[in-house]
Structure 1
Amino acid sequence: MSERKHRENLQHQAEHTRPRRRMSVLGYLLVLFAVAFLLLLLAYFQQQRANAEATDALKQSVSAVDTIEKMIAENEQLREQVEQLEAEATTLDQENQSLKTLTGNLTARLEKTQAAMDYFWQVDEAYVRGRYGLCRDLIQEMEDVTQGTALKDYLPTESATDTDRFSPAQRYQEIYDSLY
């Protein structure tokens, strides 16, 4: 009997052990599925995060491209402005040279006119005082063309006053005609 009890006991343990093994295999499978699901969920969230980062990077690169395009357009506009300013500077430089030449010519003409008037007053004074020899010498100097043009050509042809008097050029010619 004891053997029988022992067999019954073993059978009883075997019956109770088998379902536990089944339960442990089912539990193991459940744990594996749960871990697999968690891993899939984790992979999904990582993929979403990577997609968001890639989208942000694309937005930034699009923004950078827009910024670069704006800078290129601005650079081109600035180059055009530089070309315009250089052209204007060249034009102004040419005008400046023309004005310098004109100023130089006017200054030379003014100096010649002043010298002619100085001689004219001396000629007129000598003529009025009756010093005709001195007057002829001064007229010869005014008629001298060694410097390009005679000083008499620089005498004003209009009277500086509103009187009916002769202009310096007319008075010079009157004196010249009376002496020669």
Structure 2
Amino acid sequence: MSQTPEQNHSQEEDNIPLQHAAEHERPKKQQSVLIYLVILFAAAFLLMALSYFMQRRTSDATIAGLRGESVSAMQSIEDIQEENETLKQQVADLEARLEEAQKEADDAQAQADALTEAQDRLTRAMDLFWQIDEAYVRGRYSLCRTLIAQMEDTTQGSALKESLPTETTTDTDRFSPADRYQEIYDAVM
């Protein structure tokens, strides 16, 4: 089946409107794809913008919360520092009071030691005094002089006779131990 040139030409003329129609339809399809892509890009851009603003808002809220916590933490730190300074002052005051109390305790101990020493000296002096008085009453004057020498000895500080009571503790008119010692001393020495 061979076609004649006229038939060929007629067929070509019939194809022209189809080609023309196809060419005009294609841009419509391309335009709709292009519009579809633009809409997709616009939607994607809007979603990205929305996501950005939501993230920004969340980030701002987080930063505001952190700032609040930071301010709260700084206030807590300042409160702790003030409390620390107060505690340091209290420690210094307590150390000063402790030092003062220690000094008072040392003074009290020194007084107690001095009183103990005075009591020991009084006890030794009274013991020696009674021995001197006993020896004098019995007429043992040489023993009395030996005991008086011990009473007058100053090698251990002051003489023991300085520790004898100068007042009597009885309601009688008798001599005090210091007065009686002096009486015996004058009689024997």
TM bin, normalised by shorter chain, reads 0.7 to 0.9
Among 79, 92, 101, the alignment partner of 2:101 is: 92
- Deviation readout 1:40-75 (Å, 9 max, x if unpaired): 111112212222332233233223322321222222
Aligned to 1:135: 144
1:155 paired residue among 149, 154, 164: 164
Of 39, 60, 75 in structure 1, the residue corresponding to residue 69 of structure 2 is: 60
Percentage of pairs with the same residue:
41
2:117 partner amino acid: A
Partner of 2:18: 9
Q: What displacement does 1:155 show?
A: 0.9
State the TM-score, normalized to the length of structure 2: 0.79
Q: Which residue of 2 aligns with 1:124?
A: 133
1:37 and 1:95 map into 2 onto residues whose CA distance is 85
Using the alignment, how far apart are the partners of 2:171 and 2:14 within structure 1?
163
The 3 A distance-change label for structure 1 pair 3 and 146 is closer
- 1:65-111 superposed Cα distances (whole Å, 9 cap, x missing partner): 22321222222222222322332233233223323332332222122
Separation in structure 1 between the aligned mates of residue 81 and residue 131 of structure 2, nearest angstrom: 74
TM-score (norm 1): 0.82
Q: Is it true that 1:19 corresponds to 2:61 in the alignment?
A: no
Distance 2:73 2:12 in 1: 89
C-alpha separation in 2, matches of 1:50 and 1:109: 85
Alignment of 1:41 onto 2:50: yes
Q: Give 2:86's match in structure 1, choosing from 69, 77, 80.
A: 77
Q: Which runs of 5+ in 1 are unaligned?
A: none
**How many matched pairs?**
180
**Alignment match of 2:185 (pick from 170, 176, 180):** 176
Task: Report the CA distance between 1:179 and its aligned residue.
Answer: 4.1
Q: What are the superposed Cα offsets for residues 1-38 of structure 1, whole Å, 9 maximum, x if unpaired?
A: 43343222223333433333322222221111111101
Letter in 2 for 1:137: T
Extract unaligned runs of 5+ from structure 2.
1-9
